[in-house]
Structure 1
Amino acid sequence: MRPEGYDHDLDPDDEPDYDYDLHSRLAGPLTEPDPRAPYRVEYRSLLAREPRRIRAVLLMALAPVLSGSLLAYLVWPSHRTEREGGDRWLIAFDHVMLGSIGFIALFMLVNVASVAHATMVARDPIPVAAEVGTRVAFLTTYVPGKEPLAMVRATLEGAVRLRHSGPLDLWLLDEGDDSAARALCAELGVRHFTRKGVPQWNRAKGVHKTRTKHGNYNAWLAMHGDDYDFFASVDTDHIPLPNFLERMLGYFRDPDIAFVVGPQVYGNYTSPVTKAAESQQFLFHALIQRAGNRYHAPMFVGTNNVVRIKALKQIGGLYDSITEDMATGFELHRTRNPLTGRFWRSVYTPDVLAVGEGPASWTDFFTQQLRWSRGTYETLIKQYWKAPFRVPPGRLLSYTLMLVYYPMTAVNWFLGILSCVLFLWLGASGTQVSSAVLLMLYSDAAALQIGLYLWNRRHNVSPHEPSGSGGLAGMAMSALSAPLYLKSLGAALLRTDGRFVVTPKGGQASPDRPMTFRLHLFWAAVLVGSLIASVFLGHTHVAMRTWAVLALVIALAPVAVWCWTLWGERAERTAALTGPVPATGVASMTTERPAERPAERPAGRPAGRPADDEPRPAFAANTVQTATVSTSGGN
């Protein structure tokens, strides 16, 4: 089954048949709440439903213990390097090395503990039927010149098929007041809204900041928000399934629910980059968000959601941030519902209710990761300090584990490279340990961490990844994103302006060039130079060379995949030019008339695909960090 509106250039007989219908009901069948008691969202524990949960319990217990043992072994006082009468600078570098090693091992421990914690507390909400008669607005945005109108048509055609037992209006929030967009809205019965030419809705900063998604939504909210109880929204490159509202609205029977979100999947599941990018999100959507349900605070994801308008207006609308969804959710989760006095809550459903579009090139993927990480840093700098003592402890823990993922990965990469350079060039050594024991401890700790990751793969919500797949591509994508997170962290600390860049959609993709990989090539050059220098300088510790080689593989991986893809495309073109021409070639080319093709439907795009423009929340619990940590796990 594929969503209505799905279309791409492959022959229909060759298209994979993804079961979106089944994955839109992963939380279970709709139930009716007990009318005799006030409704509160109820949950099912993922671990409690596992028939072989003893294995998971052992992994959850042993993985952190072994990672902690590795940390203790590396920084044990008797293992520290002591230089009698040595060079002062070299002694100082020894201390830097010891600190780097300790932090790297500590980050590894935090990551595995985070995954173990999420495995233990993850849960799914029990779906209930929506309340009859609620007033709902369905919203999506359009930026003329940046997004194909054909993509907007596919999204709105999906919205027209939505089922809801109450008043429902469909809205297109048009940034440019485009005449073709107005005509499309008139054709489909969709209401058109624009803030173009209204000064108070186009300001230099704040909730009505010009040329931003949150500014567009907040303008609509100011003008029409009071006419509705809830608004549902998807990014322009998402197509909602017909049961989108049926599966989300029921949770709002609980008066403290501020928003409900679902997972993000990429319908243009064709290019290697897109496939790996979706796999990279596995832990967040399959585990971390479900763990957020334990504390009633999963992160707000802008790609597909339903929001209680009164709650959003209470905090002044969507937050002014490069990742407005994460920042808005954070504000809601530290605010109380004035009617009940309790903190606002949120719900994450594993139901796949919209199919969107992911990055199809390395350029777009790198842009996405830079934006998501920068948004996380902004939340840490501008908002997080307000949370202690103002939110419940469990909720603070949940957010902390999500927010520290990007900075930990960035710092981990830097410290790994730094320790490699200090040893391979200068011979600095923070700790003196046996290579055999170190590699044994590290490999065992990493194996348990990966084992816990693989065990959780059974909870994958993606309809695209093959059943039983290990998700190794996603782990690799997180590892090779570390240099990007470091660059973004530097920009955040220097307070340079962060820009929101609309990622190409509708079958389009930014071209990859050698300059796309300049950051990775820079780090690769540093590592190659260090490895060569170590040969001449005699700094040949096997563990340090191993970490340097692993880091080099990570740095060169995207370049290698790009070159392999180019080679494959070139081979296909050559084969097409030199191959025999079928006798029925002309006839076969004319069997499908252009008029019969769906109206400009973007290639490779199911009728609805998640926008990579929404910052997807980051999480400290990503086992992918294993690969990154390995760049300097010990010396």
Structure 2
Amino acid sequence: MDIEMLYCLAGSSILLLLLYFLASKYLWSKYILLFAFLILNGIYLVWRTIYTLPTVGIVSFIFGLLLLAAEWAGYSQSITFTILSWKPFKRKIIPLYSFRELPTVDVFIATYNEPADLLKRTITACLLMRYPKEKLRVYVCDDGKREEIKKMTESLGAYYIKREDNKHAKAGNLNHAMSVTNGDIIVTMDADMVPKINFLERTLGYFKDDQVTFVQAPQVFYNADPFQYNLFYEERLTNEQDFFMRRLEEGKDRFNSTMYVGSNALFRRTALDKIGGFATGVITEDMATGMLLQTKSQKSVFVNETLAVGLSAETFPDLIKQRDRWCRGNIQVARKWNPLNIKGLSLMQRLLYLDGIHYWFFGVYKMIYLLAPLLFLLFSIYSIQTNFSTLIIFWFPAFLSSLLAFRRMADSKRSVLWSHVYEVTLAPYMAFSVLSEIFLKEKGKFNVTKKGIQNNERSFLWEISLPYIILLVMSVISLLLVCLHVFTPMKIYPNIDMLIINVFWVIYNALAIAIALLITVERPRFRGAERFMVNLAATLSNKQNRGLQIPCTITDMSEHGARIEIKQKDFDTFQFISNNNYLYLSTNTLLGLKLQKHWVTKIKDSYYIGISFLDVNNDQYRSLISALFVESIDIYSNKVYENASVLGAIIGFFHKTKKNPKKLNRKSIRQKTNIPVNIQLIDQSIEGKLVDLSNSGCQLKTRKRIKQQTFSFVMKEKTENDAFVQVQWMRKKGLYYYYGLSFKSDNQSMQEGA
């Protein structure tokens, strides 16, 4: 590469970086950056098409065409994404008082086999939405025909609907509910989606326009998805679906192409009646229904706010099953309702729906990207034929512009490198889904994604990890062959330029494959319900509505339990916490909630208590759901990829991966002490010191090892009483032995907790 080309590359890189930084402040700079991104990638692909197809054999030529086709397909998707991101689009709020008379609203919660506690949360939140109660009805549409769900639904004040068969799965369930209800507006909610108190206030007003057929709010998820959770990256990555739910849906709204995503949506009943109800015959009825409701100048609306939160797929196998369903469903929709053939859609609507269907072919394209360098290094099959310096001249500006433009378009909600990781992780399975759906035309089965999963053990998903293991082994073997070529007299590769290109390519892919393999190591999920960080002032008492009142703060909470902080350090507080296993909690809206204490601990200057809720009545449950979901602040919208390096994810995984954390189980407070004691053993007495002390146990430090399981000691400051103890655990640290002891009274332990 000559010096002029180096200057040209350096200059273009500096210009692109300058445009990137200016784009955060100036819209014109963003437009220039996006235009440069399209032009540079277009130039690169034209050069690839004309000059780089392999000429060394028919097999290489075929693989070269496949790789080139995959690159052009990716470029077409980039054009669509650029169009969607070109111009910010925000809708004006239309308040409810715009209506002369408010419409009646039917909320449909479709369910089949979801757990009762998950449904209870959603039903309660739907009933708490701010809207005249005489105009709001909540229906649980249960295809599982469960008597316990019926009883729970009616006890909460909602209505229960079942049908005789399960024909057409969720779509059939919703259509049956339509046939036995009559509300003007229909709201669809998944069983795990919990609406905010203002859900109807922020969405219903758009139906003032008679042409609006449905309004969609994003699906926002409060739990970590498998990418975040299994990589210990919850605070650095956003949910993998956020990018589509917030960025792409907003862009589609500008062209009246908002996609109905199955939940958090409102429909005009008369519009649904005109198309025969929710679309059936495919496993993604939501996409087809939304598309049919946007024909002939009918309008859809996207409200880009967190108005409901729910659970994303909690395990990697469930995520794959979910995406397999979406992938097959999109192809089924294309087969039954081809966007090019539907009358009444605009040109942009057709293109955007085709692009949405085309997106699911990413698995095939990514597998071509993964296999191309491996085929060269292992079998000398070319997919591209050029020299290294020429490739850098055309490829590097295109790649750099892609990195920078994508980051600006995604508003830091996604990066090119993490998109690469996501696609590599899903590629083997999505490629199979696409090819089997197209060529085998398998009948898709509607599978409900499992929610509320709880497990106590780490597990490695051998079967699911097999594609990644094979790809990683192939990558390692190919790099070993490269080492043989470089460090031994054996010469395997005649084309050094192509060797350099494919080595970098394999390393880039192997990094993503390694992360995919780590994601198949499932972390334990100890809680059946997600805990939320809160900061609620409360009081604790040992008797309901009377007795000693201790001020406290709830620091995290679910509908099943909480962690409580107490900052008072007087003797009464110490005794109160240590001696009471059952307590009562009160806040502004939550009165006299009975608690069971599970553990206590001291951190710095505060006492912390882990508790579970007991005998929760409906009023108390509503208060809990209101605090946790319905009236909670939005902590999801502003999350971005902060310091989310791909290499850091790998390092962090091995740094944070460990055995299951030890459960806290002390029920009385341990006070730090330094009290000398005399220990009475069978054959001798030895000296020791108490490290900490509570009314149920203590920790003892000695120079000599104690082999007895039970013994007594006397504090030198108080010689009148012996303490009888039993050893719970022992460990050695430096020159000292440490013992966890529980006090014994007569022949029984006073209380476990050491």
- Whether the TM-score (by the shorter chain) exceeds 0.5 is yes
TM-score category (smaller protein): 0.7 to 0.9
Following the alignment from structure 1 to structure 2, what is the Cα–Cα distance between the partners of residues 296 and 419? 39
Q: Cα RMSD over matched residues?
A: 3.7
Deviations 1:504-563 (A, max 9, x none): 212447976222322333433444455556657723611122222333332331222444
Q: For the residues of structure 2 that align with 1:385 and 1:308, how far apart are their CA atoms?
A: 22
Match of 1:589 in 2: 598
Deviations 1:270-304 (A, max 9, x none): 86545588532233223221121222121111121
Alignment CA distance shift 1:213-1:522 (3 Å): farther
**Which whole-Å CA distance do the structure 2 matches of 1:470 and 1:403 have between them?**
22
- Aligned partner (choices 302, 323, 328) of residue 289 of structure 2: 328
Secondary structure of the residue that 1:141 maps to in structure 2?
strand
Partner of 1:219: 176
8 Å CA contact 2:461–2:520 kept in 1: the answer is no
How many angstroms apart in 2 are the aligned matches of 1:151 and 1:476?
A: 31
Aligned residue in 2 for 1:611: none
Q: After superposing the two structures, state which structure 1 stretch, 373-382 or 533-542, moved more.
A: 533-542
Number of the residue aligned with 2:442: 496
Tell me which residue corresponds to 2:334: 380
User: Which residue in 2 is equivalent to 1:425?
Assistant: 378
2:246 to 282, 286, 290: 286
Matched residue, 1:404? 358
Judge conservation of contact 1:277–1:474 (CA < 8 Å) in 2. Answer: no
Aligned residue in 1 for 2:192 = 237
* Structure 2 SS opposite 1:404: helix
For the residues of structure 1 that align with 2:514 and 2:172, how far apart are their CA atoms?
Answer: 39
Distance in 2 separating the partners of 1:344 and 1:385: 16
Q: Mean alpha-carbon deviation: is it higher for 534-543 or for 153-162?
A: 534-543
Counterpart-to-counterpart distance in 1, 2:105 and 2:42: 50
Distance 2:441 2:178 in 1: 30
TM-score normalised by structure 1 residue count:
0.72
Equivalence map 1:31-70=2 (5 Å): 51-70=25-44
Indicate which of 356, 368, 371 corresponds to 2:310.
356
Question: Partners in 1 of 2:521 and 2:624 — Cα distance?
Answer: 26
- Kept after mapping to 2: 8 A contact 1:74/1:433: no
> Relative to 1, partners in 2 of residues 1:122 and 1:313: Cα closer, same or farther, differing over 3 Å?
farther
**Structure 1 residue 308 and structure 2 residue 264: aligned?**
no
Secondary structure, aligned partner of 1:352? coil
Name the aligned partner's letter for residue 333 of structure 1. Answer: Q
CA contact (8 A) 1:112 1:449 kept: no
Provide the residue aligned with 2:650 in structure 1: none
Report which of the two has the higher share of strand.
Answer: 2
How far does the alpha carbon of each residue in 1:93-132 deviate from its partner, in whole angstroms, 9 at most, with x for none? 1321331232233133223322221111441221201323
For the residue of structure 1 that corresponds to 2:62, the secondary structure is: helix
- Return the offset for 1:470: 6.1
CA, structure 1 residues 585+142, in 2 after alignment: closer, same or farther (shift >3 Å)? farther
Letter in 1 for 2:127: V
In structure 1, C-alpha distance between the alignment counterparts of 2:166 and 2:29, rounded to whole Å? 56
Q: How does 1:608-627 map to 2 (within 5 A)?
A: none
Structure 1 counterpart SS, 2:239: helix
User: Partners in 2 of 1:442 and 1:601 — Cα distance?
Assistant: 58
Q: How far apart in 1 are the matches of 2:74 and 2:272? A: 37
Name the structure 2 match of 1:155. Answer: 122
Q: Is the 8 A contact 1:319 1:328 kept in 2?
A: yes
Point out where structure 1 has 5 or more consecutive residues left out of the alignment: 1-48, 84-90, 204-208, 337-342, 461-468, 570-581, 609-625, 628-635
Q: CA deviation at 1:262?
A: 1.0
CA distance in 1, matches of 2:624, 2:381: 55
Q: Matches of 1:531 and 1:245 in 2, distance apart?
A: 58
- Give the number of the structure with larger relative contact order, counting CA–CA contacts within 8 Å between residues 6 or more apart: 1
Which residue number corresponds to residue 467 of structure 2? 519
Paired with 2:166 and 2:53, the residues of 1 have a C-alpha distance of 59
Within 2, Cα distance between the matches of 1:54 and 1:487? 43
Q: Which residue in the other structure is 1:464 paired with?
A: none
Name the aligned partner's letter for residue 253 of structure 1. K
Q: Which residue of 1 aligns with 2:48?
A: 74
Q: Give me the whole-angstrom Cα distance separating, in 2, the residues matched to 1:430 and 1:355.
A: 45
1:413 corresponds in structure 2 to 366
- The partner residue of 2:145 within 177, 180, 196 is 177
Which amino acid is the alignment partner of residue 454 of structure 1? R
Which whole-Å CA distance do the structure 1 matches of 2:287 and 2:444 have between them?
Answer: 15
With over 3 angstroms needed to count, the CA separation of the structure-2 counterparts of 1:82 and 1:139, relative to structure 1, is closer
Residue deviations 1:29-84 (CA, integer Å, cap 9, x gap): xxxxxxxxxxxxxxxxxxxx98511221122101111111211222224x44445x
- With over 3 angstroms needed to count, the CA separation of the structure-2 counterparts of 1:312 and 1:521, relative to structure 1, is farther
CA distance in structure 1 between the aligned counterparts of 2:475 and 2:25, rounded to whole angstroms: 47
8 Å Cα contact 1:273/1:359 also seen in 2: no
Q: Is the 1:282–1:474 Cα contact (8 Å) retained in structure 2?
A: no
Cα distance change, pair 329–447 in 1 and its aligned pair in 2 (3 A): same
Q: Residue 486 in 1 paired to residue 431 in 2? A: yes
Q: 1:311 to 1:520 in 2, by over 3 A?
A: farther
Decide whether the 8 Å contact of 2:85 with 2:409 is kept in 1: yes
- Once residues 595 and 459 of structure 1 are traced to their aligned partners in structure 2, the CA distance between those partners, rounded to angstroms, is 43
> Which residue is 1:553 aligned to?
511
How far did residue 565 of structure 1 move? 4.9
Larger radius of gyration: 2
Report what 1:189 is aligned to.
157
Q: Distance in 2 between matches of 1:325 and 1:518?
A: 33
> How many angstroms does 1:435 deviate by?
1.3
Q: Once the 2 structures are TM-superposed, how far is the Cα of residue 390 of structure 1 from its aligned partner?
A: 4.7
Shift of 1:496: 1.7
Matched, 1:395 2:349: yes
Distance 1:149 1:600 in 2: 15
Give the match's secondary structure for 1:258: strand
Match for residue 127 of structure 1 among 55, 69, 93 = 93
Q: Distance in 2 between matches of 1:602 and 1:437?
A: 63
2:62 is aligned with what amino acid?
V
Q: Which structure shows the bigger proportion of residues in helix conformation?
A: 1
* From 130, 136, 152, the counterpart of 1:168: 136
- Cα gap change, 1:428/1:247 in structure 2, threshold over 3 Å: closer, same or farther? same
Structure 2 partner of 1:13: none
What is the CA–CA distance in structure 2 between the aligned matches of 1:564 and 1:383, rounded to whole Å? Answer: 38
> Which sections of structure 2, spanning at least 5 residues, go unmatched?
1-22, 486-490, 528-573, 582-596, 600-608, 631-645, 648-754
Describe the shift of the 1:150–1:74 C-alpha distance in structure 2 as closer, same or farther (beyond 3 A): same
Q: TM-score, normalised by structure 2?
A: 0.62
Within 2, Cα distance between the matches of 1:302 and 1:362?
Answer: 21
Which of 100, 108, 112 is residue 78 of structure 2 equivalent to? 112
Q: How many residues align?
A: 512
Q: How does 1:444-483 map to 2 (within 5 A)?
A: 444-458=397-411, 473=418, 476-483=421-428
1:390/1:307 CA distance change after superposition, 3 Å: closer
Note the C-alpha offset of 1:230.
1.0
2:711 paired residue number: none
* One-letter identity of the residue aligned with 1:111: Q
Q: Which residue of 2 aligns with 1:23?
A: none
The code of the aligned residue for 2:326 comes to W
